[in-house]
Amino acid sequence: MSTLITNIAELMTQDLEHRVLKDAAVVVEGERISWIGAAADAPAADDAVDLGGRAVLPGWVDSHTHLLFAGDRTAEFEARMAGESYAAGGIAVTMNATRATSDFDLTRLALGRVDEAVSQGTTYLETKTGYGLDVEHETRSARIASTVADQVTFLGAHLVPVGQDPEEYTELVCGPMLAAVRPFVQWADVFCEEGAFTAEQSRRVLLACRDAGLGLRVHGNQLGEGPGVQLAVELDAASVDHVNYLAAGDLDALVGTWTGWDASSGTGRRGTVATCLPACDLSTRQPLAPARALLDAGVQVALASNCNPGTSYTSSMAFCVATAVLQMRLSVHEAVRAATYGGALALHKDTGNDADGERAVGSIAVGHRADLHVLSAPSATHLAYRPGMPLTYAVWRAGKQAR
């Protein structure tokens, strides 16, 4: 079954050629994109959808979320807005609520959050464990997450539970906990920050996870200059996320990871993506991550929602894009690219076509997964021009219309 999607005023492909097509059309066949080009040249298809002069861009790729949780932390948010500083300890509040919630309700809550994200144009997302923090509950979170998200990250090293010895807990994460969650996860992450895990503890966790065959990510440099970025670079992590506080050496280290990458062809040695989380920065009143400086220096950047109950309870990637344009000095094209192709790059889903059985996400190209976000506007510029407005008109996710 093929569907011609036509009368597209602006098609922002975010492909390797950075094409923005006017008066365009797309043909979707099954889960894949089979043709793109000028509407006047479109081939026949089994069905047709006229978008009436609306804009189309790739579905958002949200590469950093924490969707598996229960409970409420509005009191913490109110206190922070009243002047209290953010610290990592609030995670324990969510841990207690999550542990007390049934499998059914935890799944229901997570699926509701996925539905919210999809309704706003997100078509591919990662989520993490990290609110169980013992073998039983981390395994449960990983199992449930594998049924609701596209990719799952093991974050047993989110916080040392109250009353536990940090060294003993680190060994638990590296041993029994890792072994138990391994069948359900593709990535490992660690909160390398003061009040969470030291550089040495973080390295032990990441090395154990790498030996187990997991890809690596790092929460780093959120609360101040620290070892997170350097550790991510040292261990060839796919991404380092937050990056609010970068010393000159941190920026240089990230730049160095991309020297073997050919951005025009998407080939060569991948570097470490810098994932910026602007909704979290606003909620914690941290300085916005230096996305402009990172891009100018040659670092690949992603934008993600960091949807979580304590510091960023939103899945609105459009909000992140608008913030990146209005406050982080990215162009609309750069911000959309970071929220689509950049997220795919951070999750190693930027490549793949019919030939290898894997379909890329985050860009619109023949052979890629048919993930499309249609705006109630003639161009993507309206995402920043009309911030906060509900501009999602329709969504195709893996070839099926989801909204």
Asked whether residue 373 is marked as a ligand-binding residue, the answer is: no
- Token couple for 100: 């007390």
Q: What is the pTM of this model?
A: 0.97
| Residue 107: burial class (beta carbons within 10 Å; 0-12, 13-18, 19+) | middle
CATH superfamily for domain 60-330: Metal-dependent hydrolases (3.20.20.140)
Predicted confidence band of residue 356 (pLDDT cuts 50, 70, 90) = low
Question: Has residue 87 got a pLDDT over 80?
Answer: no
> What are the residue ranges of CATH 2.30.40.10 in the chain?
2-58+358-401
Asked whether residue 222 is marked as a ligand-binding residue, the answer is: yes
Predicted confidence band of residue 352 (pLDDT cuts 50, 70, 90) = confident
Over residues 127-132, the mean pLDDT reads: 98
Write b or e for each residue in 243-282: b if 16 or more Cβ atoms lie within 10 A of its Cβ, otherwise e. Answer: bbbbeeebbebbeebbeebeeeebeeebbbbbbbbbbbbb
Question: Has residue 295 got a pLDDT over 70?
Answer: yes
Q: Using CA atoms, how far apart are residues 237 and 334, in angstroms rounded to an integer?
A: 23
Asked whether residue 64 is marked as a ligand-binding residue, the answer is: yes
Over residues 158-174, the mean pLDDT reads: 96
Q: Using CA atoms, how far apart are residues 129 and 139, in angstroms rounded to an integer?
A: 8
Asked whether residue 66 is marked as a ligand-binding residue, the answer is: yes
Asked whether residue 306 is marked as a ligand-binding residue, the answer is: yes
CATH superfamily for domain 2-58+358-401: Urease, subunit C, domain 1 (2.30.40.10)
Predicted confidence band of residue 92 (pLDDT cuts 50, 70, 90) = confident
* Main-chain phi, psi angles of 261, to 5 degrees: -105, 130
Over residues 242-260, the mean pLDDT reads: 97
Length of the chain: 403
The confidence score (pLDDT) of residue 90 equals 81
Over residues 320-340, the mean pLDDT reads: 98
The confidence score (pLDDT) of residue 188 equals 98
> What are the residue ranges of CATH 3.20.20.140 in the chain?
60-330
167 in helix, strand or coil?
helix
Sign of dihedral through CA atoms 261, 267, 269, 274? Answer: positive
Asked whether residue 311 is marked as a ligand-binding residue, the answer is: yes
Those residues whose C-beta lies under 8 Å from the C-beta of residue 171, and which sit 6 or more positions away, are none
Sign of dihedral through CA atoms 207, 208, 210, 215? Answer: negative
Q: Using CA atoms, how far apart are residues 168 and 199, in angstroms rounded to an integer?
A: 16
Q: Which residue has the higher pLDDT, 291 or 194?
A: 291
**191: β partners:** 219
pLDDT in tens, 16-46: 999 999 999 999 999 999 999 999 999 999 9
Asked whether residue 7 is marked as a ligand-binding residue, the answer is: no
Predicted confidence band of residue 358 (pLDDT cuts 50, 70, 90) = confident
Q: Using CA atoms, how far apart are residues 118 and 166, in angstroms rounded to an integer?
A: 38
- In eight-state DSSP terms, residue 89 is G
